[in-house]
A and B are shown apart, each in its own frame.
Chain A
Amino acid sequence: MKISIKGIGVLGGFGCGIADLKKSLTIGKSTTTAMVIKTTSGDIKAPAFLANTDRLKSFVNKRDLRRIDHYIRMALLGCFLALEDADMLHAKRGKMGIIIATGYGSTCNTFDLQHSVITEAAPFCSPIQFSNSVHNAAATYISILLKEMGPNLSVSHYDMSITSAFLTACQWLHQERVESVLVGSVDEYSKILGYFRHCLYNKGNKKADFAAKMNPEYAIIGEGANFFVLARENEAASPYGFIEDVKMGNFKRRGINLPENAAFFLGADGYSECDDQYVNYLSEDAGVASYSHLYGGLPVGTGFDIAIAALSNKLKTVFKSGDSPIYNSDRLNVIRHNEDLGSRRICCLKLGAGGSYGWVSLNQ
């Protein structure tokens, strides 16, 4: 049994939908927005790759969006785009599972909520704000709007969130718990994260080696959503290819077994102290690419790499990589021009906090 990718829904700094992602890959850049954080010591500028959710109005009526914040809107739009891409938006879907991963959760809403509880003379918070701050709020809206009553899971494990979501999605399909899974991830930009980036690079980070290597221009905060419709297939061909394997572990304690005959998409985005360690685990001749220059730094960035891998399968092409000192590109066989995928599989690899690793491999 194979697990095929039936549809993809993405939004981020590169635009909205798989066509915008392809366009961004082709030209090799996305657009940043200059964000300003007001502080008592003056304004701080923090560039970010932001996502626009205007297209959500074509899927959900205005009334249903009244109480929905930007974070949840991004998740919803990612889901609808994936279902539309899979031609399953209006079709009878059978039993579908929903899995949503996030590294941070709904940070804007959550920090506003905290502010109102901690700083007000009488502790108070709005019930809507509170219920939207619960980590599974996005999954809730999705199940309600899609009227899906199958298994529904939200996971949050920082930079391993999306890999662990794929692990469970594949398990559900193998167990025949469900006929399909809508799996994906979402994270948003917030003032706190913008300020955190400022602290990391400009306020005397004690981890000097890390900070010195981290040129801020290669570590732009990103936000967005990436969603996938996965289904069991026995024989049918799948244009986006198949999920071949998902592995998680700890490379510092037990190393990594990586698949052979693969191109590697690295999750180096300038926010992990492990970004410079890919070189220790990849062979010299393995073609590698990093695309965080298109979607930014966010815990669920690997989800965008999976979307790019699926698109590469469909087009039989590996897109040129971003060139970044973050992952020691001078010591790796970086894919510097669009090239034929050939018979290779694609492995989306993330080396994360505490020595954790996760990879998702796709074949054609």
Chain B
Amino acid sequence: MRPVEPVAIAGIGCICSAGLVLKECMDFLYKGQRNPAPPVNFSTKLTFPVFEVLEDFFQSNLFKEKNILRTCKLALTATLEAISDAGFNRKELQTMRVGACIGTNVGCSMHDESFSNKSAEDNTSFITPVNRFLFSNPTSSIASEFKITGPLQTVVNACSSGSDALGLAASWIRSGICDIVIAGGTDEMYQITYTGFKSLLINDDSPCKPFDINRKGLNLGEGAAVFILVSEEILKEMKKDPRAYILGYGSATDAFHHTKTRPDGKGLKLAIEEAMESSGTTYSDIAFINAHGTGTLDNDLVESRVLHEMFPGVPFFSTKGYTGHTLGAAGAIEAAFTIACLEKGKVPVSVGFNTVDPEMPPAYPVKQNLTISGNKALTETLAFGGNNSVLILSTGEHQP
């Protein structure tokens, strides 16, 4: 992979259990807080803790699109924040070549209680709910709400969907097919995924503990993060400075197992190498790493070994202790956190980590909020299907 041009990020929006906007999330993280609890957005007899957005977050008066899935509401909320952060308005967007590239899982999976095998057997008409479902995936909702006219893509790469969407969207800017791309990830807490993860025996029945010796698995979460990627020409035309840059992106596959991480970490290493090469950045330029860090036994072990081998001594942390694993949104939310940390010059304590696992190499996540120097960082996501996705990010000239 040859080095590529950086792509400017003009604005960011983020919503998850840690906060309804990015600044709120970061304040929450730096306080080391978290509040997982059994789900309330659906009825279940299971009690594994999750990280839900508990507030009535969707301001329906601000949106034309209302009868949509929760996943779409999260995406629209984050998009509105991102557009505002970028200093654009809706009308400006309609005059430009704007595309959308959004990662999700729940937003595209055809499991919806309003139509089912049983309702077919009962001969219940369900044209409306099926149409509502088919035509309201998060990318389409964004396109419809903001009347955008460019290419649309919905990435369903399981847990790496959000970071893959950002990497792919950056290439749309570089190749000139868009002036602006609205990109990111979104997923809601949903009964099927909640029960499905339980069946895999990788849920922790207590708050998750990424990289800790006592880790028992993950907690699920929900949220969305959306970025406004902009071409240099548009930035100049509008006399705006970028908030941050996507410097590089890499992805590779384990070709190993559906739900288990490849023990030798080869897929992750390939993704890191591609991201680093494409960014034109040296390994010593990386100020910190926002790891995937789910809290599962396999993931954390493999990830810590790879990070120790490729980035010895570089501080790393997981934010899943604050947000839970937000699946298709995770890569985008963590990219938003990474940029916010670079801007602040500080990374949060890797909450949930207390005791070193002797199986791991001597590379441990940060145990207290840590001041960092440098303006480049790496964020990585690992996914079902063996997908590994890596982004290299840097700060821009505009500080929010």
Identify B121's interface contact among A40, A126, A176, CB under 8 A.
A40
Bound CA span A337–B134, Å: 36
Check if A171 is an interface residue, CB within 8 A of chain B.
yes
In the complex, residue of chain B having the shortest beta-carbon distance to the beta carbon of A131 = B258
Interface contact B171-A117, CB-CB below 8 Å:
no
**Which residues on A sit within 8 Å (CB–CB) of B120?**
37, 39, 191-192, 195
**Which residues on A sit within 8 Å (CB–CB) of B94?**
253
Check if A228 is an interface residue, CB within 8 A of chain B.
no
Check if B54 is an interface residue, CB within 8 A of chain A.
no
Q: Size of chain A's interface in residues, with CB distance under 8 A? A: 78
Interface contact B196-A40, CB-CB below 8 Å:
no
**Which residues on B sit within 8 Å (CB–CB) of A214?**
none
Check if A258 is an interface residue, CB within 8 A of chain B.
no
Contacts known (A136-B158, A150-B253, A152-B385); A158 close to B137, Cβ less than 8 A: yes
Interface contact A140-B154, CB-CB below 8 Å:
no
Interface contact B175-A171, CB-CB below 8 Å:
yes
Check if A107 is an interface residue, CB within 8 A of chain B.
yes
Check if B199 is an interface residue, CB within 8 A of chain A.
yes
Interface contact A164-B125, CB-CB below 8 Å:
no
Check if B299 is an interface residue, CB within 8 A of chain A.
no
**Which residues on A sit within 8 Å (CB–CB) of B150?**
248-249
Q: Which of A114, A118, A119, A199 has the most CB of B within 10 A?
A: A114
Shortest distance from the beta carbon of A330 to any chain B beta carbon, whole Å: 28
Check if B110 is an interface residue, CB within 8 A of chain A.
yes
**Which residues on B sit within 8 Å (CB–CB) of A114?**
111-113, 116-117, 192
Q: Which of A41, A132, A164, A171 has the most CB of B within 10 A?
A: A164
Identify B195's interface contact among A123, A160, A356, CB under 8 A.
A123
Shortest distance from the beta carbon of A169 to any chain B beta carbon, whole Å: 11
Bound CA span A331–B248, Å: 50
Interface contact A135-B108, CB-CB below 8 Å:
yes
Interface contact A158-B255, CB-CB below 8 Å:
no
Interface contact A131-B200, CB-CB below 8 Å:
yes
Bound CA span A195–B120, Å: 6
Q: Which of A149, A150, A250, A254 has the most CB of B within 10 A?
A: A149
Identify B196's interface contact among A119, A133, A137, A176, CB under 8 A.
A133
- List chain A positions with a Cβ less than 8 A from chain B: 37-41, 98, 104-105, 107, 110-115, 117-119, 122-127, 130-137, 139-140, 143-144, 146-158, 160-161, 164, 167-168, 171, 174-177, 191-192, 195-196, 199-200, 203-206, 247-250, 253-254, 353-354, 356
A sample of 6 cross-chain residue pairs with beta-carbon separation below 8 angstroms, ordered by A number, consists of A105-B108, A114-B112, A127-B200, A143-B385, A192-B110, A195-B126
Given contacts A115-B116, A195-B120, A249-B149, 14 further A-B contacts (CB under 8 A): A40-B123, A105-B110, A111-B117, A123-B198, A126-B199, A127-B201, A130-B196, A149-B252, A149-B254, A155-B153, A157-B153, A175-B4, A191-B120, A354-B143
